[in-house]
Structure 1
Amino acid sequence: MGRRNKGRDVSGWLVLDKPAGPTSTAAVNKARSALRAAKAGHAGTLDPAATGLLAIAFGEATKTIPFVTDALKCYRFTIRWGSETTTDDAEGTVTATSASRPSAAAIEAALPPFRGDILQTPPAFSAVKVAGERAYDLARGGDVPELAPRPLHVARLDLVGVPDPDRAELEMVCGKGGYVRAIARDLGRVLGCLGHVERLRRLWSGPFTLAGATTWEDLEGDPEALEARLLPLESALAGLPECRCAPGAEDALRHGQPGAVIPARPLQWGEEAWASSGGRAVAIGLYEGGHLRPTRVLSGG
């Protein structure tokens, strides 16, 4: 038996404009296959019916996934009033209906409690684990799980428009772990009209935007052209302060040892930062009085 091809050592970030239909995992697998890459992962799941930005990391860039996953994300979505569904979106079965429809003024008045630091109960059909099992697996089996509310930071939630009495379009910027479907469900209940997500699109995620994003069709094109679209792993670190390696520090940092660094701006003891040499990432770690103590060592893409 011949030796298995483990894939190419490809490193960097691909910003994909995911269409409706594929799961996030399917999108990652398609991109990895197109580049024949050995390793890939994504920074934040999009439901199959959702579209928009899916940030995919390859190779060494997968070490920077948490810095995108933990960053703020922006969603534009349409709520359909008048019914709740099992999934809190248009893919589910209708479980309750209402003839009531809210005015734009009523929607605006209901939004403030959904802003800031809130508690949100995830949808039954979600990836939240219950006793070691995914909630959506339990829900599909008919055992609807009771999920506990979770803290969520909503930096912004705005009414964008009311195209007709049955629909409202909103935009939300939130932190890690937010469910737009839960916002639609809960807002519908507060307004007394019920509601679910009809359309959902992610506009940006951390440092990544849809400007110049790769399309699904691009994944089926020339692999070299696709690889040319990759962004360096350093692009995921835009939210962290950068420090330049002092002479002789790079080797120590690459071996996981503390090294002397020169921060681009004053840093506090224990503040997370990344060290660079020639503009390429060397390590991510904690700043300790002129030195960086590595928590992740990077090859620089």
Structure 2
Amino acid sequence: MARQGRKPKGRPVSGWVILDKPKGMGSTEAVAKIKWLYFAQKAGHAGTLDPLASGMLPIALGDATKTVPYVMDGRKVYRFTVRWGAETTTDDTEGPVTRASDERPAREAVEALLADYTGEIEQVPPQFSAIKIEGERAYDLARAGETVEIASRLVQVHRLDIVDVPDGETTVFEAECGKGTYVRSIARDMGRDLGCFGHIVDLRRIAVGAFDEEDLVTLDELEDAAQEGREPLDEAAIAAGAKARVTDFRPLDDYILDPATALCDLYEVTLSDDQAGRVRSGNPVLLRGRDAPAFCDEAFATGQGRLVAIGSIEEGSFHPKRVFGGRH
């Protein structure tokens, strides 16, 4: 007799929580915290953010995890501060200094370099990075004392601007870049080109794909929302050390963005209730309307404002590939 599958633990909640990750917290730790707060069945993030960095860590709950690749492939915006005069093993403040200089660049010299770091550029990722070398993460090998050879790669930097020069020691930049770009490498390489060396002392991610700063929510805000939804405890329970459970998730769920928010670059198909039912069963539906495309490699379908499926349009019909049934 076949054993029945175990019922998933947690709520079938789906959507995006755009966490403003604090410094010192790892991405995996942040996902676990959000999953616990929401008592979610499933959670994952769209792109690691270094523990020493702060800012945007998009976290997908439930069915929204199916849209993670579309966020990871999107553009990212970083604001970062470079301190001139020293290069480190980690290209940030965590590692020891390996090279130093008394030289400091003039703003004009830094500005003259920006064009060299815009467009399609070649860069070598930092030794302390998530790049895999023969199945091992580069940062694991580096922490074990090994010097690893990391091949250079082509990355896309759409925009690189100076936003502030607070003093002669540091320059603040903003970069808009594509997947796989390391701004720590940009700081390291610019320092070498300028002959003064450099490393990042502050790094903040402020946009990923469809999400921007207006979508950010802090852990404190989420903790307050969870507290608002916790059951009241009497004095005896408090004295006994009991912990209040969250019984009303509505204050927390107010911070969840619909899974379809991640798909803003795709063509949207609006379905009737009957069409939505057919698509959820895995069936194609014929699209009507003068503006409906005959072919489209990737599109998403919504019904009553909810994400129903991701698929393609072929000969005027929408064909579902990934169907969504979660709720929040």
Out of 57, 61, 64, the position equivalent to 1:58 is: 61
CA distance in 2, matches of 1:289, 1:8: 39
Structure 1 residue 18, shift from structure 2 partner: 1.0
| Pairing 1:147-296 to 2, within 5 Å after superposition | 147-211=150-214, 213-223=216-226, 224=249, 225-245=251-271, 248-262=274-288, 267=293, 269-296=295-322
Structure 1 residue 33, shift from structure 2 partner: 0.7
1:33–1:297 distance in 2 versus 1, CA, 3 Å? same
1:265–1:13 distance in 2 versus 1, CA, 3 Å? farther
CA distance in 2, matches of 1:7, 1:69: 26
CA distance in 1, matches of 2:289, 2:110: 46
Task: Say how many residue pairs are matched.
Answer: 299
| Pairing 1:86-97 to 2, within 5 Å after superposition | 86-97=89-100
The SS at the match of 1:221 is helix
1:212–1:100 distance in 2 versus 1, CA, 3 Å? same
CA distance in 2, matches of 1:282, 1:5: 22
Structure 1 residue 256, shift from structure 2 partner: 2.9
The SS at the match of 1:74 is strand
- What do the CA deviations read for 1:138-190 (whole angstroms, capped 9, x no partner)? 11001121111122111100111211111000000011111111110111111
CA distance in 2, matches of 1:85, 1:267: 53
Q: 2:50 maps to which residue? A: 47
Q: Which moved more, 1:117-126 or 1:268-277?
A: 268-277
Q: Which runs of 5+ in 1 are unaligned?
A: none
Q: Which moved more, 1:173-182 or 1:246-255?
A: 246-255
Amino acid at match of 1:131: E
Query: Does the 8 A contact of 1:18 with 1:51 survive in 2?
Result: yes
Query: Does the 8 A contact of 1:242 with 1:263 survive in 2?
Result: no
Out of 138, 143, 148, the position equivalent to 1:140 is: 143
- What do the CA deviations read for 1:264-297 (whole angstroms, capped 9, x no partner)? 9554734311112222211111221211222321
The SS at the match of 1:30 is helix
Amino acid at match of 1:165: G
Matched, 1:23 2:26: yes
Structure 1 residue 246, shift from structure 2 partner: 6.1
CA distance in 1, matches of 2:271, 2:37: 36
Out of 99, 102, 107, the position equivalent to 1:99 is: 102
Q: 1:10 maps to which residue? A: 13
Amino acid at match of 2:60: A
Amino acid at match of 2:287: V
The SS at the match of 2:214 is coil
- What do the CA deviations read for 1:105-137 (whole angstroms, capped 9, x no partner)? 100111111111122211111111110111110
1:136–1:264 distance in 2 versus 1, CA, 3 Å? farther
| Pairing 1:112-131 to 2, within 5 Å after superposition | 112-131=115-134
Cα RMSD over matched residues? Answer: 2.0
Amino acid at match of 2:253: E
Query: Does the 8 A contact of 1:282 with 1:300 survive in 2?
Result: no
- What do the CA deviations read for 1:51-110 (whole angstroms, capped 9, x no partner)? 111111100111111111111111110001111111110111111111111111100111
The SS at the match of 1:13 is strand
Structure 1 residue 259, shift from structure 2 partner: 2.4
CA distance in 1, matches of 2:24, 2:293: 45
CA distance in 2, matches of 1:30, 1:82: 38
Greater C-alpha Rg: 2
Query: Does the 8 A contact of 1:274 with 1:283 survive in 2?
Result: yes
CA distance in 2, matches of 1:236, 1:212: 12
Query: Does the 8 A contact of 1:246 with 1:260 survive in 2?
Result: no
Query: Relative to total residues, which structure has the larger strand share, 1 or 2?
Result: 1
Give aligned-pair identity as a percent: 49
Query: Does the 8 A contact of 1:15 with 1:210 survive in 2?
Result: no
Q: 2:229 maps to which residue? A: none
TM-score by length of 1: 0.93
